[in-house]
Amino acid sequence: MDPQWDLLPPPFRKLEPEAALLRFSLEMVESLAELVPAMKFQVAFYERFGSSGFRALEQAVRRARALQILVIIDCKRGDIGSTAQEYAHAYLDEEGPLACDAVTLNPYLGRDSLEPFLAFFPRGKGAFALVRTSNPSAPDLQDLDVSGHPLFETVGEKVKEWGSPFVGENGYSSLGAVVGATYPQEAERLRQVLPETFFLLPGYGAQGASEADIALAFDRKGEGVLVNSSRAILFAYRDPVYVDLPPQRYLEASQTAYKQATNRIRHAIDERMKNR
């Protein structure tokens, strides 16, 4: 859920921001509820409109959870312990205004910035720490050489260590890693270093990563990854591939794009498993 204002179907852009964000978000949530296991809400697209954007986000998140969709809020927060406590309350406490299932976190401040979130893990919550991001400037800091290895590998190892007390029955920790699919070699390398860490994998679709790139990040069982596709699903109505669907059928375009992407990814994973 990256409801970028200028990509919304035209009728929405005639509404007030809060109404537009809310209606578009609710329509997408309801339209995709039967298909998707989880939805990642990018808070920035709501925060852009301040308190009124947050009001829309609160309602959309509540609706998604009522429909049994796992909700990840992509906020990339990271702050000193006493402040991180406030963010953790907002997003992971069931009493908080944006109660969801998992958040994304920035690890630059170190372990104590994650601790208030870890405290909610025994209650079924989770988080994904940024390890290797999907953007072009990711190498600026993340590829710096730390004793012969790029920084992101060390960060990955720390995420594994911090998450080790929270490994569940299925073998994954409630502390996962954000690994950009746009850097397939790095993702493959991280999978070797972190064989049992759950990855949240952005970069598929609009950002350019292919199904074959994505397949490299899956673990030995062909699992352990939540692939994220935002704009390519949400704004499929703009894609010439779906030109047979008129723009007012944007929900169908999104459903179709979701199903096709899933089929392509499944096929790529099967191929990779065969070649192992």
CB of 227 to its own copies, least distance (A): 16
CA dist 190 to 35, 99, 109, 172, Å? Answer: 29, 30, 21, 15
- Is residue 63 a contact residue for its own copies (CB under 8 A)? no
Q: Would you count residue 275 as binding its own copies (CB under 8 A)?
A: no
Return the bridge partners of 74, or none. Answer: 42
* Cα separation, 129 vs 9, whole angstroms: 33
- Tell me if 106 contacts its own copies by CB under 8 A: yes
d(CA 87, CA 47): 14
List 23, 55, 238, 249, residue binding its own copies (CB under 8 A): 55
121 binds its own copies (CB under 8 A): no
Looking at 76, 158, 259, 274, which residue is catalytic? 76
Q: Which is nearer to its own copies, 89 or 264 (CB)?
A: 89
Sign of CA dihedral 209, 215, 219, 224: positive
- Number of shown-chain residues binding its own copies (CB under 8 A): 59
Measured torsion, CA atoms of residues 6, 252, 257, 58, in degrees rounded to the nearest 10 = 60
Among 13, 111, 259, 266, binds its own copies (CB under 8 A): 111
Cα–Cα distance, 132 to 139 (Å, whole number): 9
CB closer to its own copies out of 58 and 188: 58
Q: Which of 16, 30, 34, 112 is close enough to bind its own copies by CB under 8 A?
A: 112
DSSP output for 215-235:
HTTS-TTS-SEEE---HHHHT
Asked if 109 interacts with its own copies (CB under 8 A), we say yes
CA 174 to centroid of chain Cα atoms: 14
Q: Is residue 146 close enough to count as binding its own copies by CB under 8 A?
A: yes
Q: Are 232 and 205 in contact (CB under 8 A)?
A: yes
Which secondary structure element, helix H or strand E, spans residue 251, and what is its range? helix 250-274
Of 50 and 168, nearer to its own copies (C-beta) is 50
Q: Convert residues 80-99 into a mask of x (bound to its own copies by CB under 8 A) and - (unbound).
A: xxxxx-xx-xx-----xxx-
Question: Is residue 76 among the annotated active site residues?
Answer: yes
Among 41, 54, 198, 250, binds its own copies (CB under 8 A): 54
Q: Which helix (H) or strand (E) holds 24?
A: helix 17-32
Q: Can residue 141 be called a binding residue for its own copies (CB under 8 A)?
A: yes
By CB under 8 A, residue 44 contacts its own copies = yes
Give, for 64, the enclosing helix (H) or strand (E).
helix 50-66
Residue 78 binding its own copies, by CB under 8 A: yes
Determine, following the binding rule CB under 8 A, whether residue 19 of this chain makes contact with its own copies: no
Q: Which residues are identified as catalytic?
A: 76
Q: State the residues that interact with its own copies by CB under 8 A.
A: 2, 4, 42, 44-45, 47-55, 57-58, 76-84, 86-87, 89-90, 96-98, 106-113, 130, 133-142, 144-147, 151, 154-155, 158
